[in-house]
Amino acid sequence: MAKNIGMLTGGGDAPGLNAVMRAVVKYGTKLGYTITGVEDSFNGLLETPRRVQGLTPVSCKGLLQLGGTFLGTTNHGDPFAFPDGSGHDADRSREVKRAMDELGLDGLIVLGGDGTQRIARKLMEVHGIKVIGVPKTIDNDLGATDLTFGFQSAVDCVADSLDRLHTTAESHDRVILLEVMGRNAGFIALHGGIAGGADAIVIPEIPWQADRLVAKIEERRAIGRPFSLFVVAEGAYPSSAPAPGTKLVPGSATQRVAEAILARLPKLDLRVTVLGHLQRGGSPVAFDRVLATRMGVGAIDLAEAGRWGELVCLRNGRIEGVPLAEAEENRVVDPDGELVRAARAVGVEFGG
Q: Is residue 182 within the footprint of ligand F6P (CB under 6 A)?
A: yes
Site string for ligand F6P, 83-122 (x = CB under 6 A): ----------------------------------------
d(CA 67, CA 283): 4
Question: CA 297 to CA 302: how far, in whole Å?
Answer: 9
- Give dist(CA 132, CA 300) in Å, integer: 9
**Interface with ligand F6P, residue 248, by CB under 6 A:** yes
Q: Which range, of 23-31, 165-173, 181-189, 283-291, touches ligand F6P by CB under 6 A?
A: 181-189
Q: What are phi and psi of 218, to 5 degrees?
A: -70, -35
d(CA 96, CA 119): 11
**At its nearest, how many Å lie between ligand F6P and the CB of residue 275?**
10
Strand partners, 319: 314
Q: How far is the CB of 214 from ligand F6P (least distance, A)?
A: 27
Instruction: State the sign of the Cα–Cα–Cα–Cα dihedral 261, 264, 265, 269.
Output: positive
Residue 139 in contact with ligand F6P, rule: CB under 6 A:
yes
For the bound state, the minimum distance from the C-beta of residue 179 to ligand F6P, rounded and expressed in Å, comes to 11
Q: With binding defined as CB under 6 A, does residue 24 bind ligand F6P?
A: no
Quick one: residue 104, left, alpha or beta (phi over 0 = left, psi -120 to 50 = alpha)?
Answer: left
Active-site residue (options: 13, 40, 114, 139): 139
Q: How far is the CB of 229 from ligand F6P (least distance, A)?
A: 20
The reply on whether position 201 binds ligand F6P by CB under 6 A is no
Confirm or reject binding of residue 179 to ligand F6P (CB under 6 A).
Answer: no
Alpha helices in the chain (DSSP H): 17-30, 43-46, 93-103, 114-127, 151-172, 187-195, 210-222, 252-264, 286-304, 338-345
List 10, 12, 296, 351, residue binding ligand F6P (CB under 6 A) = 12
| Residues 57-86 close enough to bind ligand F6P by CB under 6 A | 75
By CB under 6 A, tell whether 161 contacts ligand F6P. no
Measured from the CB atom, the residue of 72 and 226 that comes closer to ligand F6P is 72
| Residue count, binding to ligand F6P (CB under 6 A) | 11
Which of 272, 39, 284, 102 minimizes the C-alpha distance to 175?
272
Closer residue to ligand F6P (CB): 88 or 247: 247
Query: Is 217 or 257 the residue whose CB approaches ligand F6P more closely?
Result: 257
Our CB check for ligand F6P shows the closer of 93 and 279 to be 279
Could you confirm whether 139 is annotated as catalytic?
yes
Cα 186–chain centre separation: 12
On the 0-12 / 13-18 / 19+ scale of CB atoms within 10 A, 88 is exposed
In the complex, what is the shortest distance from the CB of residue 227 to ligand F6P, in angstroms, rounded to a whole number? 27
Residue number closest to ligand F6P, CB atom: 181
Q: 299 exposed, middle or buried (CB, 10 Å; 0-12, 13-18, 19+)?
A: buried
Q: How far is the CB of 39 from ligand F6P (least distance, A)?
A: 19
Cα torsion at 226, 231, 237, 238 (round to 10°)? -20
255 φ, ψ (degrees, to nearest 5):
-60, -40
Q: Considering only residues 26, 130, 280, 294, which one is a binding residue for ligand F6P as defined by CB under 6 A?
A: 280
Active centre residues (catalytic): 139
List residues binding ligand F6P (CB under 6 A). 12, 75, 137-139, 181-183, 234, 248, 280
